[in-house]
Structure 1
Amino acid sequence: MKDSVPVGVLRERSVSKGRRPEYDVLGLAVPVDWRDGYFFFESVTGSAGPRGDTAGQVLTASAEDEFSAQLIETSPPEDDYDARRRVYRQIVARRGQVSFRRELLDAYQARCAITGSSTTMVLEAAHLRPYRGPRSNSVSNGLLLRSDLHTLLDLQLLAFDPTSRRVLLSRVLSGGDYADLAGRAMREPTKPHQRPADDVLAAVHAAFQHAEGRR
């Protein structure tokens, strides 16, 4: 990155287990930054690719591209039952690993940690620090959140003051539908070991501030 040496950028395709991996060649790019645990590249060949000012924006763009591609490549449901099964698979995947969500439902008494909503169908197991294997599924690294608030957390549009443990909202949400959540105290489990760890909240807060500086 220091010498602006271009590198070849490849994207691994999803292949069946046991088969040799295959790659799409995206072109040449120059590494220009390192943030949030990711390298950022600028294309030198004019190849179009996901762009963004933060790793979260780039990952969101990549996910949208992959999701769109999946919709194109996947055959339509065979019948109404097949369609409903696909919808439920997506819901389960979004809610989080079953055992992790079950532990958070118990710790937070089946209520959203911000709003207190008790509609369990829309409560999701949110990781504070990104998922990096089973060890990430610790209750102290999670929150039980309403689905829309989970999305805001993932997009670094919402965080918590690590000292007061009150909700912080991005300035892009000021005056909108979520404005009344700013400053709201987090609902925490009664057992201390189940509460979000101080260092985890501090890391989320730091990432939020960095993202705010880029917006």
Structure 2
Amino acid sequence: MTAWVLVISKDYPDHWDFAQKDGFWDTRPRTKIEPTDDVFFWMAGTGLIGWARATSETFELNSSHPPAHWHDVATGEYRWRFTLEPQSSAPVRQPRWKEMAAATGITVPASNGRIEVKELEGQAYLRGLFGNEPVIDQTFPDGLTAYAPGDDLRKRAQRDIAVRQGQGQFRNSLINSYDSTCAVTGSTVLAVLEAAHIDRYYGMHTNHVTNGLLLRADIHTLFDLQRMTIDQDLRIRVGPDLIHTEYGSHEGKPLRLPSNPSHHPDRDALRRHWESCDWANISQNQ
């Protein structure tokens, strides 16, 4: 998982609007965008205007694909496309390019057009420019009654993944319980640690520490997309499409647990997440 900054010409200010309506973006040269990548749109002379999440890899266009509405569709020589899910069109702060470049590690000018941001801290900075989720969470002191699980199949996980660091006190409770450490990777970089719900978020009652995991941002996304899960032995399981990537090294490793047993993740919630991963059920039966 990575992030990209794509630059829109000031001559076409409504191209971002087209992208949101059509659910895709076209490029001239191929850009190695993949599913779950964050894509931030920068307009020359204006600044950040949008944030989307890729829902496909970049693929070559042909006559069977839906036509685009770009003003320069006839002259733009667009050959490649990726589909996307809009996340926000309302940045809460508008940095200058120089400031954003310094915070994200970008070393090329905006005129480059397509810029990859690989560092997790830079990716977190870009998401933070679009603000946080409403603070609707609450603290969870020791001795709170056990979490009452809700139904969780995450059939529309792609639409539910959003900025996670704004989960307020729920995130803080997980940071305390997990000693500021990602339960999967062991990362201690707070800027990229997020509060992940095991069962889908259905209201205040689901914001119990036993219904959460403290995960690095990319792991959180893969968990929500059912490409990683936790088995009943509390071991990390990695989807077959990720086994031969850098994430494959986590396969079979034990989940890092809070020192307080009452804060351990709810086993039933983990089971429901496991059961919602078709590949996990197949591998278990083989």
Tell me the TM-score normalized by structure 1. 0.60
2:91–2:131 contact (8 Å) kept in structure 1: no
Q: Mapping of 1:107-186 within 5 angstroms?
A: 107-162=177-232, 164-186=233-255
Cα distance in 2 between the residues matched to 1:169 and 1:122: 20
Gaps of 5+ in 2: 1-21, 25-52, 56-82, 104-124, 133-162
Cα distance in 1 between the residues matched to 2:91 and 2:214: 34
1:170–1:212 contact (8 Å) kept in structure 2: no
Does residue 197 in structure 1 map to residue 217 in structure 2?
Answer: no
Q: Once superposed, what is the RMSD of the aligned Cα atoms?
A: 3.5
Identity of aligned residues (%): 32
Match of 2:257 among 177, 180, 188: 188
Aligned CA distance change for structure 1 residues 183 and 96 (closer, same or farther; 3 Å): farther
1:96–1:126 contact (8 Å) kept in structure 2: no
Cα distance in 2 between the residues matched to 1:107 and 1:100: 11
Does residue 206 in structure 1 map to residue 275 in structure 2?
Answer: yes
Cα distance in 2 between the residues matched to 1:102 and 1:124: 9
Provide the residue aligned with 1:66 in structure 2: 86
| Larger helix fraction of residues | 1
Aligned CA distance change for structure 1 residues 76 and 212 (closer, same or farther; 3 Å): same
Structure 1 residue 95: Cα displacement: 1.7
Cα distance in 1 between the residues matched to 2:172 and 2:277: 27
Does residue 88 in structure 1 map to residue 88 in structure 2?
Answer: no
Structure 1 residue 134: Cα displacement: 1.0
Task: Name segments (4+ residues, structure 1) moved above 4 Å.
Answer: 74-79, 83-87, 210-213
Structure 1 residue 91: Cα displacement: 6.2
Q: Secondary structure at the match of 1:64?
A: strand
Structure 1 residue 87: Cα displacement: 4.6
* Superimposed CA distance per residue, residues 57-110 of structure 1 (whole angstroms, 9 cap, x where no aligned partner): xx985x93333xx54xx69976639x8998525464322411000000000000
* Superimposed CA distance per residue, residues 94-145 of structure 1 (whole angstroms, 9 cap, x where no aligned partner): 2241100000000000001012111111100001111111111110000000
Q: Secondary structure at the match of 2:195?
A: strand
Gaps of 5+ in 1: 1-47, 51-58
Q: Secondary structure at the match of 1:143?
A: strand
Q: Secondary structure at the match of 1:116?
A: coil
* Superimposed CA distance per residue, residues 42-69 of structure 1 (whole angstroms, 9 cap, x where no aligned partner): xxxxxx889xxxxxxxx985x93333xx
Q: What amino acid does structure 2 have at the position aligned with 1:105?
A: I
